[in-house]
Structure 1
Amino acid sequence: MDITWKELFAIVSAVQAWGSFWLRRKILFHCDNKSGVDIWDKGSTRAAHTMVLVRLLYFYAVHHQLNMDRFWKLAPTANPRPDSTPAWPTQTFMRASCNAGLTKFHAFCDQYNLHTHPASSLTLQYFSVHEARHISYKTIKVYLVAICLDHIENGYQDPTRDNLLQLVCRGIRRHQGNNQRNRLPITLNILRTLKEQLHQSSYTFQEKLMLWSAFTIAFYGFFRASEYVNLRWDDVTYDEEQMSITLHQSKTDPFRRGHTVHIFKTTSSTCPLKVLKQYKDSVTSTPPNAFLYHAGRFTPLSCPAVTRVIRQLLSQAGLNYMDYASHSFRIGAATTAAAASLPTWMIKSLGRWSSNAYLSYIHCQPSRTPAIHRLLAHTDASNQPEWDPDCMHRHINQLN
């Protein structure tokens, strides 16, 4: 089940368990899932399994005569405060965005002689449209959440709960369109190109080993960018045949149970085990972080640094480098696994995906399109058994 279903399931379970004790009372739920809050507001969703929870929620509300309300906050804290005082986000980058949003809001109100506390819905509409010229819809949402939390902490009502403001935000989102980045996969051919350009670059020998080791581990381990740049030597063990990397936390492991990724030796020029041994032997001291720059001082590898190096190397190779980033290794691993005719359940397991999001990572190579069309031309749908998506690649390979 998706995270939205899990969030609503917790609320429905609470109402079912304690609804009889809340008879004719007003209940305020704090939820950190924006999709769940939107579904609650609309009272409907296209997801059938989530709609079951929505109906149950409204049923219990009527049965126990409850006046239920919700409040969306970005993230809980380790020591939550009372419900009347929602928590500010604990992530550094989120807190910085919230503070920046409040600063811009106060400057906007000072410029046009508007009240900051309490701010009217019309003021927030003007502010949202004003900022939409420079920032994205998602950033505007973060700014509005910061204004909301600031008002509640100062004893005012939430000024963002206004239908007109929601319509203005929806119009901003439609006007800006879909700004989702088009990230291309780093497949084996691109990976070999990176190796060639890295060999010709001006990096030191140790930095070349470090970067190439990070690239190969990211590809063969199906790692997210945040997972391989923060790798520590204590989490890596290896022998002559394989390496084992322990992830203490990840995106799909909310309870921090940990997961061990095994990467085995290959005979190709992109073997991650071989280059890791070379890199480990070249490191005179062993700092906690595995991937570090050693020019003058120890500088940990970061996602922006990986993206910068990838684009620099691909630019030297004459390729269109702007659509490649630190996450492209994971996308390329999924694309390569699909091209190798691995079943979908295996790809999902290798990448540690808890949903079907990995399907959007798989890019269909243009060279395979003629075989697909030949397969369609020779298929009689009336005599076919139940469709098996894992058999598709085998049929295409037979036609090739």
Structure 2
Amino acid sequence: MVFRNMASRPKRRRTKPSATATSPAAVEDETVLKDLVTECMSAALPIIESTVKECLARLKSNPGSTTQAISSHQEESTTSIPSTSAFNAIVDLEPSTDTKIQSTLSQHGNEGNIGSPFTPTPLTRTADFLIRSSLSEDSLSSYRNIFATYRSFIHAQVDKNASPLPPLLSHLLLYIAHCYQSGLAASTTRTHIAALSFTFQLGGYQDLTQNFLVKKQLQGFSKVKPAMDNRLPITPNILSKLVSALPSITTSAFSNTLFHAMYVLAFSAFLRVGEITKTAGAKQHFLLAKHVTLQKDPILGNALELTIPHFKHSNQSTTLHLQQNITNPLLCPFLTLQTFMDVRGHKSPEEPLFSFMDGTPVSRQFFTENLRLSLSFCGLDTDKYHSHSFRIGAATTAAASGSSDIQIQNMGRWKSSAFKKYIRIPTMKVT
């Protein structure tokens, strides 16, 4: 077989003739476009210049406007979620689906929803319920009162048209200065700032209370005006004197038995005055007859079981086990409660533990007045001994007896190390 050479000459490429000159129509269009751009820029420059001048003038008259502008820009890049009922209650807003608070979106996966409203669902209602449940009624009331005080200060001292939200650093610094000039203690002012911090965060706002200037101002406040708590502890020795003085300050055998039991239990169980008396608070914490159980055991010994269903800043119950004091029957919680309950004869377990024969609970004022009489009879300074001195004395006595910090904290139901300020070891020599 013969193969022929199939190679062929390269084919010529067909090329289109290139335009070497611009057509008259294209030149005319380009000229018109340049003239249009020039005309637009000439018209826009005066407006831009005027706007810049206005911004500079506004910045000079109000340096904080830049921060507000940035904050406003940040708010535009956030998503709206329904405000919590707890936040509405604190800042005195009516719950409404139209009321919004701003919350920054997660950096991952949520960019597409920016600016879209958050539709309430069963899950959001559950989330709101859980947040609301984290606060006791007392805490909520305290936060509400402090925020109202802060808002009133801004309207009266800064600008009657100014709003406390979103928070401004200048408002906080002036408020702390106002607290100082008003004679508030540094510890009280810190409590106010902590409450405002909680409110700001609950509303999704920046927590300016952590600003360096705020911290340094509070530090200076504490140095210039250190806290002076001159309350003294009621020690076991002083407690014995108070109990012994009762027959001399009251002619009623019932009142004698009543206050004897109240004094001893307040000391033995680290109780607050609101747990043994009726106070002016919205939520009452005083004990009921059903919260006391007298356990008689000939082998292990008699004991008093005291259940505290709820107390300050807590809705959780706790049970205390107080063993009978064999060495000092006068200060024995088991014997004094047993004697009082036999005399009182509660008709219902729902009756207040410390109450009169008609079921009326002992008021804080009535208890305080009789305590002052007992203190005066014993020659003790009523300006330094108060109803809270029982709790202070219990912590001090426990520390002096060698109890650990954890034990004292649990016995007194403290959630933090705040109990340490109650321990006055040097004062144990007071008789």
TM-score when scaled to structure 2? Answer: 0.52
Q: Give the structure 2 partner of residue 172 of structure 1.
A: 221
**Deviation sequence 1:39-83 (CA, Å, 0-9, x none):** xxxxxxxxxxxxxxxxxxxxxxxxxxxxxxxxxxxxxxx965399
Task: Give the deviation of 1:331 after TM superposition.
Answer: 4.3
Q: Does the CA-based 8 Å contact 2:356-2:362 persist in structure 1? A: no
**Deviation sequence 1:103-158 (CA, Å, 0-9, x none):** 33333333345332444312221122012222223333343455456556666544
**Greater Cα shift, 103-112 or 205-214:** 103-112
CA distance in 2, matches of 1:247, 1:321: 31
Q: 1:174 to 1:93 in 2, by over 3 A?
A: farther
**Deviation sequence 1:251-300 (CA, Å, 0-9, x none):** 89989584341321536444443332331122244343553342876124
Q: 1:88 to 1:308 in 2, by over 3 A?
A: farther
Q: Does 1:363 align with 2:425?
A: yes
CA distance in 2, matches of 1:118, 1:255: 31
Q: 1:319 to 1:172 in 2, by over 3 A?
A: same
State how 1:196-235 maps to structure 2 within 5 Å.
196-202=244-250, 204-221=252-269, 223=271, 230-235=286-291
Q: Does 1:137 align with 2:186?
A: yes
State how 1:77-92 maps to structure 2 within 5 Å.
80-81=127-128, 90-92=135-137
SS in 1 for 2:380: coil
Q: Does 1:314 align with 2:370?
A: no
Select the structure of larger CA radius of gyration. Answer: 2
Q: 1:138 to 1:79 in 2, by over 3 A?
A: farther
Q: 1:264 to 1:145 in 2, by over 3 A?
A: closer
Q: Give the structure 2 partner of residue 243 of structure 1.
A: 303
State how 1:84-123 maps to structure 2 within 5 Å.
90-114=135-159, 115-116=162-163, 117-123=165-171
CA distance in 2, matches of 1:186, 1:265: 18
Note the aligned Cα RMSD (angstroms): 4.5
Amino acid at match of 1:99: R
Q: 1:289 to 1:131 in 2, by over 3 A?
A: same
SS in 1 for 2:218: helix
CA distance in 2, matches of 1:290, 1:82: 31
Task: Give the deviation of 1:193 after TM superposition.
Answer: 2.0
Residues matched between the structures, number: 287
CA distance in 2, matches of 1:155, 1:351: 34
Q: Does the CA-based 8 Å contact 2:322-2:334 persist in structure 1? A: no
Amino acid at match of 2:128: R
Task: Give the deviation of 1:177 after TM superposition.
Answer: 0.8
Q: 1:208 to 1:97 in 2, by over 3 A?
A: same
Amino acid at match of 1:247: T
State how 1:13-92 maps to structure 2 within 5 Å.
80-81=127-128, 90-92=135-137
Q: Does 1:162 align with 2:211?
A: yes
TM-score when scaled to structure 1? Answer: 0.56
Q: Please, which runs of 5 or more residues in structure 1 have no aligned partner? A: 1-77, 369-400
Q: Does the CA-based 8 Å contact 1:210-1:291 persist in structure 2? A: no
Amino acid at match of 1:169: L
Amino acid at match of 2:356: H
Amino acid at match of 1:95: L
